[in-house]
Amino acid sequence: MHCTKCPRLAAFLEENRQKFPDFFNAPVASFGDEDPSLLIVGLAPGLKGANQTGRPFTKDFAGHLLYGTLLKFGWATGKYEERADDSLCLIKSRITNAVKCVPPQNKVTGEEINTCNAYLASEISSFPHLKVILSLGVVSHKAVLKALHLKQKDYPFKHGHFVLIKEKNLYLIDSYHCSRYNTSTKVLTKEMFEDVFLKIKSVL
C-alpha cells in the first residue's frame, strides 16, 4: 500500500526511508483474524515499532502489554517476539490504527485523522460478526465515532466505559492507551487494562 494523501506523513515516510532503509516505512495494515468479533483501534504506528516491523504494536512498548493481555485472555495464540514473522496469531480479534502512517513526534493532526478515517470506516463495515470495538485513547475513540457517523457529545471518552450502540449493534469500550507514558505514570495499570478485557469477555 502506498498513500500520499497526507503530505506531512508522506514526507516523513520518505525521510525515514533514507534514514532507515531496512524499516517497513509504509502505511501499516491491520493485523489479526479476518472475521473478528473484537476490533482494537490504536492511534498510529510508532517510528521504531510498527513502522519498523510493518505490524501494529509490534516492537512498540505498548505491544508488550497489549499482546500479553490478548494471550492471557485467549484472544491470541503463539508467542509475541517483537517481529512480524513470530508465531503470534490472533483469534477472533484484530488490531488497527486510526491513522495508518507513522507521524512525526507520534502526533497526528485532525486533518490526517479525517483523511485516514475512510479506511477505518471501511474496515469496520467489512466485518460481519464484529461485536465490540475497543478504543485505545481519546484520538482512537473520536476516530471510531467519526467512522460510525456518531456525535462526539453523545459518547464521551471514559476509561472502562461500555456502551451499546444500538443502531450499529456494536459495543464500544474505551481504555487509556497502553503507551509507555501512561503505564509508567500509572494512568493505566496492568490490572486496569485487564479489567477492560474482563468486561469484553462478559459480553462475548
For the stretch 65-95, pLDDT in tens is 999 999 999 999 999 999 999 999 999 999 9
Q: Is the pLDDT score of 2 beyond 80?
A: no
**Residue whose grid cell is 485532525:** 110
Domain parsing of the chain, residue ranges: 7-203
- 1 — pLDDT class (breaks 50, 70, 90): low
Q: How far apart are CA 134 and CA 57, in angstroms?
A: 15
- Nearest CA to 45 out of 6, 120, 103 is that of 103
- Nearest CA to 16 out of 135, 146, 138, 103 is that of 103
For the stretch 140-194, pLDDT in tens is 999 999 999 999 999 999 999 999 998 889 999 999 999 999 999 999 999 999 9
**Exposed / middle / buried, residue 116 (Cβ in 10 Å: 0-12, 13-18, 19+):** buried
For the stretch 93-121, pLDDT in tens is 999 999 999 999 999 999 999 999 999 99
Q: What's the whole-number average pLDDT of the chain?
A: 96
Tell me the CATH class for 7-203: alpha beta
